[in-house]
Amino acid sequence: MLMAISVVACTSSKQIKVTDEEMDRLGITDREHLSEASKRALAWSKDLGNEWFIEFGKLEPLKGDLAYEEGVVRRDPSAIIKANGKYYVWYTKSVGPTQGFAGDVEEDKVFPWDRSDIWYATSEDGWTWKEEGMAVGRGPKGTYDARSIFTTEIMEWEGKYYLCYQVVESPYNVRVKENISLAWADSPDGPWTKSKEPIVRTADNGVWKGNEQNRFLVEKKGDFDSHKVHDPCILPYKGKFYLYYKGEQMGEEITFGGRQIRHGVAIADNPLGPYVKSPYNPISNSGHEICVWPYNGGIASLITTDGPEKNTIQWAPDGINFSIMASIKDAPHAIGLNRTADVEKEPTEILRWGLTHIYNNGNYQSIMRFSSRRVTSHVAKGEKAD
């Protein structure tokens, strides 16, 4: 027998019909007394299964040049690609301790990713890596990328290679704007040509209050990305190029999910741009570093660290309208996906192994290897699964 149940969520309501079998599966037996939690459960998509649910294993150290090195920051690995018979990865590299904003921001290193350049390494097996050198360096004094370039991603398209990354100019104060730039090459070993200006900039509709270096004082907050645009990743999708990025808003708040961080997307007809921000931005309610991959005609996204929907895997059939597919725990930070994986084998195949980073101490970070596995059942010791 089918019975209509009224489900109210925020400002909208909808009628759903639930079978006795579905009620039994969820362990909800009294139709006359439904808690808000039961109503939400009954409204969940009936297609939700365990194909998206995974658990991450213990991080493992790399060998060779990417092993931890005191005095050196290596972090934010890009996706891994394969070329010339070996794996390639790009990453943020800097040296020296972090001083923060308390000292001289003109001279000091305020963040681990401050005063950074983009380097790259290669590997035969994904474990032992050889550092090949700098790929893209900072620009000369007075340019838009003079202070630091960092948090890069790689895209290979029609025999060319594209690195998108964050840029910041001096001085690196708390109100400085951060943008996204691009470099391209005919070989993963370079040489790289940098764009003459950023390809995605912060929104310009926020207004600071006063002249004090305080990022929480605003007269108008503006768009979700009015302060910074971070962590870019370009994917070829449906004949266009989707540049996913993280936005920070002027006067950023703390919500019930933590920091008010969200994602957006800018779309172009050509890898070099121009990139136009989607009118549907922001396209997430949560997240930190961008981790996206194609699956089943749409785009999947791992949402971590910040916001009320953190620690979820989401999927959008159109690359814009994302729904939660699984809730997870202990996800690595700043994931570098293995782009050589068969993304259509199953939705999380690309997460079986890849790279991430850890904080070895307050000043230095190193790149590590992560792994994951699908979880389809829960059994006690000695018990047999179905």
Q: Is residue 110 part of a domain?
A: yes
Q: Is residue 220 part of a domain?
A: yes
Residues 181, 310 within the same domain: yes
Q: What was the pLDDT predicted at 116?
A: 98
Q: Per-residue pLDDT tens for 279-335? A: 999 999 999 999 999 999 999 999 999 999 999 999 999 999 999 999 999 999 999
Calculate the CA 68 to chain-centre distance. 23
Residues 233, 260 within the same domain: yes
Q: Is residue 383 part of a domain?
A: no
Residues 294, 349 within the same domain: yes
Rounded to whole angstroms, the Cα distance separating 247 from 264 reads 7
Phi-psi region of 163 (alpha: psi -120 to 50; beta: other; left: phi over 0): beta
Residues 18, 144 within the same domain: no
Residues 282 and 246: beta-carbon distance below 8 Å: no
Residues 206, 318 within the same domain: yes
Rounded to whole angstroms, the Cα distance separating 291 from 283 reads 14
Residues 119, 24 within the same domain: no
Q: Is residue 289 part of a domain?
A: yes
What is the DSSP code (8-state) at residue 350? G
Give the number of domains in the chain: 2
- The alpha carbons of the chain give a radius of gyration, in whole angstroms, of 22
Q: What was the pLDDT predicted at 47?
A: 67
Residues 267, 359 within the same domain: yes
CATH number for 59: 2.115.10.20
Residues 31, 69 within the same domain: no
Q: Is residue 260 part of a domain?
A: yes
Q: pLDDT higher for 379 or 357?
A: 357
Domain coverage including residue 124: 54-374
Q: Is residue 32 part of a domain?
A: yes
Residues 291, 355 within the same domain: yes
CA atoms within 13 A on the CB side of 15: 3
Rounded to whole angstroms, the Cα distance separating 335 from 339 reads 12
Q: Is residue 277 part of a domain?
A: yes
pLDDT at residue 12 is higher than 60: no
Residues 133, 39 within the same domain: no
Rounded to whole angstroms, the Cα distance separating 266 from 264 reads 7
Q: Per-residue pLDDT tens for 237-295? A: 999 999 999 999 999 999 999 999 999 999 999 999 999 999 999 999 999 999 999 99
Residues 99, 247 within the same domain: yes
- Phi, psi (rounded to 5 degrees) for 26: -85, -5
Residues 256, 297 within the same domain: yes
pLDDT category of residue 1 using cuts at 50, 70 and 90:
very low
Tokens representing residue 350 in the block:
């690309």
| pTM of the entire predicted model | 0.93
Residues 319 and 342: beta-carbon distance below 8 Å: no
Q: Is residue 386 part of a domain?
A: no
Give me the residues paired with residue 229 across strands.
247
pLDDT at residue 382 is higher than 90: no
Tokens representing residue 325 in the block:
């597919």
Region 217-232 average pLDDT: 97
Region 108-119 average pLDDT: 97
Q: What was the pLDDT predicted at 44?
A: 81
